Amino acid sequence: MNVAGTDPRRQLLLEMLRVGLGAVDGRRRTAETLKSLAAEGSLTGPCQIAAVGKAACAMALGAHDALGDRIQRTLIIAKDGHLHAGVKTLPAVEVMHSSHPMPDQRSLDAGQRLWEFVAQLPQQVLPVFLVSGGASSLAEVLVPGASLQELRQLNATGLASGEDIAQLNARRRRLSRLKGGGLTACLQGRTALALFVSDVPGDDPAIIGSGLLGPSPRELTADRVTRRIIARIEDAMQAVAARAVELRSWLSDARFTGDADRLAVRLTHELYLSGAEICVWGGESVVRLPENPGQGGRNQHLALAAARLIAGQEDLLFLAAGTDGTDGPTDDAGALVDGETCARVTVAGLDVDRSLAAADSQAALAAAGDLIHTGPTGTNVGDLVVGLKLSSARARSWCERNGVNAPMR
């Protein structure tokens, strides 16, 4: 993870992010779940794997860790840049690269291949579906009369307006034969297993991936899909709290949603008034884009808006990051800001207010040295936000006692 400075408070916050991500690692959580199911006798015989989403590669590797040569073939549909080198060594594996957050022709090709995968399943084989966020864009089969251009316009409008993900997914399903339980219906009542890494409020399989493996909408279609949520943002939050031993910690009991600028006000206010030294939130914000937006994502925008509010506060720091390792159209996960962030932006010749108004947070945060870059993480459970109210001396002492001493570059 790259971020400027060797302030021990930054080291502490980056350690919290690392631990949070580890708790929801797609490979580990998939392997643990499948091993447990196999041990209890509810998972027997040969399997075929279909993994779709930003965590597809990690989840597929976890399936092979657990089931080994019981897996006959594996289909992986992954986002560009999220291909794990290890999947190339898997036996009988087919990997398709696709587009996110905007679908393209590859999304339609991948959706057709997924549809064929189900149609070609041998009767004696158990299909195991591994679904994570991003599946909505990565794989699609359109209803008759719908076009790729219509699908792209729907996505573009929804993303620009900051539309709630449940509402956007509901509109996506109207164009899709695959979503809203369409793939479940394609199974025609056969037994299947679906594991989900959830990035949506309520962890509802009917919403994750626009309901790719959600309940079938057809009342007469038998639904014999066993569904398990194997990772969620609360798992990451609880891991952060457990790691923050010796610090007074507070976890939000509700996921945040809504406008990033307003959330920045609320979350920094909660941090400032809290008696805790570390505050942890999880959820997903939205940014309403101007006509010609700059570069940045919702976590970068949230962090820069928070930086404006904690300017001059020596003991306050604020980290906001996408757990998938990307933020909007950028390759940065988010940012870690402090009371001097705005001053560093100004020294670099940029203006925080103008950057926020233009949805151009990335350049300002890059100038401040505050961007977080993790690369693809193998998970996707939404956004993790951690606030710190701590002196540098106390943070240094904590890092020394807990083995967090390596300088960050």
User: What average pLDDT does range 205-227 have in this prediction?
Assistant: 85
- Decide if pLDDT at 32 tops 50: yes
Query: What is the per-residue pLDDT for 218?
Result: 61
Least trusted range by pLDDT, from 61-65, 137-141, 169-173, 328-332: 169-173
Higher pLDDT, 139 or 42: 139
Closest Cα partner for 260 from 204, 328, 312, 214? Answer: 328
Residue 94 CA neighbour count, 13 Å, CB half: 12
Per CATH, 8-22+234-401 and 25-231 having the same topology is answered no
Closest Cα partner for 229 from 194, 190, 180, 183? Answer: 194
**174 vs 136: CA distance, rounded Å:** 12
pLDDT in tens, 358-384: 999 999 999 999 999 999 999 999 999
Query: What is the per-residue pLDDT for 83?
Result: 84
Read off the pLDDT band of 409 (50, 70, 90). Answer: very low
Q: Class of the 8-22+234-401 domain? A: alpha beta
CATH 3.40.50.10180 fits 25-231, yes or no: yes
Residue 199's alpha-carbon distances to 132, 151, 203, in angstroms, are: 7, 21, 7
**293 vs 355: CA distance, rounded Å:** 10
User: What average pLDDT does range 134-145 have in this prediction?
Assistant: 93
pLDDT in tens, 140-182: 999 999 999 998 998 788 777 766 666 777 777 788 999 999 9
Q: What predicted TM-score, i.e. pTM, was given to this entire model?
A: 0.93
Which residues 6+ apart lie within 8 Å of 377 measured at CB? 21, 25, 323, 324, 325, 333
- Domain borders along the chain are 8-22+234-401, 25-231
Q: What percent of the chain has pLDDT over 70?
A: 95
Query: What is the per-residue pLDDT for 166?
Result: 66
In Å, the largest CA–CA distance within the chain is 66
pLDDT in tens, 187-198: 999 999 999 999
Read off the pLDDT band of 2 (50, 70, 90). Answer: very low
- Decide if pLDDT at 289 tops 60: yes
